[in-house]
Chain A
Amino acid sequence: MDLNLPEPDFSFFEMLYLSFSNIRRRFLRSLITALGIILGIAFMAALLTSSLILGAMQAESGVEAYQFWLVGISLVVCFGGITNSMLMAVNERVKEIGVYKCIGGLDSHIVRLFIVEALLLGILGGGIGGVLGIIFGFIINLNRFSFDEMSVVLQNNSIILIALLLLSLLISMVLTALATYIPARRAANLSPAEALRYEN
């Protein structure tokens, strides 16, 4: 057998195309996964925005302890939500991983395919979730402070808000990638027959 292995490497563009097709074609399922990410990130961003506003308004009394708790909880919810969404999304697709392996996909290709897909969802979810969260964090304080008061606070802290958006994106991307990498790697390590047999 002539094993002159012509690089089975395929371009990043192909990868993006396959991932994008997968998201588009499983649109509803992808939407639900993205929604999980958006909710987690939005929850976190809303609480962080809210405590930013509260902190600025009550400068004299300082940030109260319960706000730290809230932010802590929001992080846990966000981590849990995203991880859960992604784990479920991969778990549903172990058989598909088996098919990719049968037609000659390298483990690394398959894992990369899933990660690129997860990152696309992560960027989308993190971006939308961050923006929604900031808006929501603003709205939940409307009964306490006036619109104008809060606008001033946000304008004065615009750098922090941008940092918050970037943080949302970063957390979302890291978590989606990680929560995809681990189960996808594990599934790709199965023999093709085992992956095809897999029942979820």
Chain B
Amino acid sequence: MSLVEHVVEIEDVHKTFIMGKIKVYALQGVSFKIKREEYISIMGPSGSGKSTLFNAIGGLDVIDSGEIYIDQVDIAELDATELAWLRNRKIGYIFQTFNLLLAFTAQENIEIPMVFAGVSREERRKRSKELLKIVGLSDRARNKPGQLSGGQQQRVAIARALANDPAIVLADEPTANLDLETGLDIIELLRNLNKEKGTTIITATHDLKMISISDRIIWIRDGLVDRIEDRADVEIGTVD
């Protein structure tokens, strides 16, 4: 056992997309470790492999080679049920495009992960109300995603990601579809979550506003880790 507890450990991860004759080497041997309660930003130019990495860490897509450990467990070893459990309890996902279920209200969207987790109806009601309060949407519980602004939808998505109290929150460009102000609110929300509950947060992002609150920044370029910086280093120097 190592002294430092790594909640995420990835080693030499490769992922290639094959489209007919064209091969896209999206990840070409990415390795890093993330400690519990860290706030990590994964940055890099468009097409550098951030989303692919996000999907790999979250067990949302299969990788070609390499290893991904979540809490020391190699996720390649997990069967379908265990993977579903991982996605349900261990990791909360936030997407650029929100990915809410459009047929359901804000509150129901937050409750569905709890339905899959077998949480009782009363408990779900209670918890979803708390979460709506945390994200500042108590008055919108009964609205469907279509009746909410982008920022509000993203808050619902954050509340949904927190439904089963995950140890890790993965966010792929959570602020990319939002205006500056709303983006700042979302970042604030993630930062509080990290500070108050100690949730490990990993965001793929273009958003330089994320830098000031990240513990470390992992720069990705052409499917490889370009460099990893501590916040202290970044704050002094200028950024790209």
Contacts and interface: CB of A to CB of B under 8 A. Distances in A.
Interface centre among A10, A18, A96, A104 (most CB of B within 10 A): A104
A154 to B, nearest CB: 42
Contacts of A1: 70-73, 86, 90
A25 interface: yes
Given A109-B116, A194-B61, 5 more contacts: A14-B115, A96-B101, A102-B87, A191-B61, A193-B60
A103 B112 contact: yes
Interface stretch (B27-35, B77-85, B201-209): B77-85
B22 interface: no
A22 B105 CA distance: 11
A104 B70 contact: no
Contacts of B103: 21-22, 25-26
Contacts, number: 93
A178 interface: no
Interface of A: 1, 3, 5-10, 14, 18, 21-22, 25-26, 95-96, 98-107, 109, 191-194, 196
B214 interface: no
Q: How large is the interface on B (under 10, 10 to 19, 20 to 34, 35 or more residues)?
A: 35 or more
B117 interface: yes
Interface in B105-162: 108, 112-113, 115-118, 144, 160
Nearest to B101: A99
B200 interface: no
Contacts of B81: 5, 8, 106
Contacts of A196: 60, 95, 99
Contacts of A21: 103-104, 108
5 contacts: A1-B72, A5-B85, A21-B108, A26-B103, A98-B99
Interface of B: 55, 60-62, 70-73, 80-82, 84-90, 93, 95, 99-101, 103-104, 108, 112-113, 115-118, 144, 160, 163-164
Contact of A99 (B70, B84, B99, B118): B99
B58 to A, nearest CB: 8
A191 B17 CA distance: 14
A192 B87 contact: yes
A103 B118 contact: no
B61 A104 contact: no
